[in-house]
Amino acid sequence: MLTQDHFLLIGHRGASGLAPENTLASFAKAVALGVDGVELDVRLADGEIVVIHDERVDRTTNGRGLVSELSFDALRGLDAGDGERIPTLAEVLAEVPPQVAINVELKGAGCAAPVAEMLAGQRRPLLVSSFDHAALAAFHAACPDIPCAPLLHRWRQDVQAVASGLDAWAVNIADRIATPAHINAIRSWGRRCLVYTVGEPDRARQLEAIGASGLFTDYPDRLAPVLRRSNS
């Protein structure tokens, strides 16, 4: 359900350099700037799948406390920036146009099964990723047809085995380990390689030139003109 015929531009937490991260406003901004997809982070709160990066609400809202310990009503009463609420995954699926890919990153404990249930009937391009490879394996077992990607913030010797065990569509790696050797290795195993998080146009062009499959950016406004020009 996710295809690729060009270098992918994915808005990181929406267009999080331009609007409050992981909000509907941020996703709308990214879409307006022409991204191929938007990335978001999900956690379970009070039985709901909510879109928020940190395990606490403190950094991104006017509240305090652990997401997992707040009621859904309390979470929804918080200001996530510019008057935006913390969205649910269901709201994002309803609001983001169906041709735009959604990359759901599993963050909190217990997300795999409810996310699998929610995404199972979706008819749109999807990618599910996580640093928690056991959680990603649980998701993949439930939804083997939805592409998945393990996340790596540092290189490890068993990457090929991890990717193979998940039948991963991609291996998504931090920019600091996105060397030609690592990208070539991942591509030689038949996996795509998406790189996070990139803000500079020169680095974006370099990553495209050395064989990366796409990138995540907080600033689609900076990179869309550069990458769209080289794709045309």
Which of 129, 135, 138, 150 forms a contact with ligand G3P (CB under 6 A)? 129
SS (HEC) of the chain: CCCCCCCEEEECCCCCCCCCCCCHHHHHHHHHCCCCEEEEEEEEECCEEEECCCCECCCCCCCCCEHHHCCHHHHHCCCCCCCCCCCEHHHHHHHCCCCCEEEEEECCCCCHHHHHHHHCCCCCCEEEEECCHHHHHHHHHHCCCCCEEEEECCCCCCHHHHHHHHCCCEEEEEHHHCCHHHHHHHHHCCCEEEEECCCCHHHHHHHHHCCCCEEEECCHHHHHHHHHHHHC
> How far apart, in whole angstroms, are the C-alpha atoms of residue 198 and residue 42?
21
Instruction: Provide the minimum distance between the beta carbon of 17 and ligand G3P in the complex, in angstroms, as a whole number.
Output: 12
Tell me whether residue 6 is one of the annotated catalytic residues.
no
Q: Is 105 in the site for ligand G3P (CB under 6 A)?
A: yes
**Of the residues 12, 133, 140, 182, which is catalytic?**
12
Residue nearest to ligand G3P (CB): 196
Tell me whether residue 12 is one of the annotated catalytic residues.
yes
Q: 60-99: which residues touch ligand G3P (CB under 6 A)? A: none
What does 132 bind: Ca ion, ligand G3P, none (CB cut-off 5 to 8 Å by kind)? none
Q: Which string of b and e fits 80-108 if b means at least 16 CB within 10 Å?
A: bbeebbbbbbeebbeebeeebbbbbbbbb
Structure-token pair, residue 118: 């929610």
Name the residues that contact Ca ion, by CB under 5 A.
41, 105
Which of 41, 84, 132, 218 forms a contact with ligand G3P (CB under 6 A)? 41
Give the x/- contact pattern for ligand G3P in 189-218, rule: CB under 6 A. -------x-------------------x--
Q: Is 39 in the site for ligand G3P (CB under 6 A)?
A: yes
Q: Is 169 in the site for ligand G3P (CB under 6 A)?
A: no
- Is the CB of 77 or the CB of 199 nearer to ligand G3P? 199
- Is the CB of 104 or the CB of 143 nearer to ligand G3P? 104
Instruction: Provide the minimum distance between the beta carbon of 153 and ligand G3P in the complex, in angstroms, as a whole number.
Output: 7
Residue 37: beta bridge partners? Answer: 10, 101
Q: Is 12 in the site for ligand G3P (CB under 6 A)?
A: yes
What does 151 bind: Ca ion, ligand G3P, none (CB cut-off 5 to 8 Å by kind)? ligand G3P
Q: Which positions are annotated as active-site residues?
A: 12, 53
Using CB under 6 A, list all residues that contact ligand G3P: 12, 39, 41, 53, 105, 129, 151, 172, 196, 216
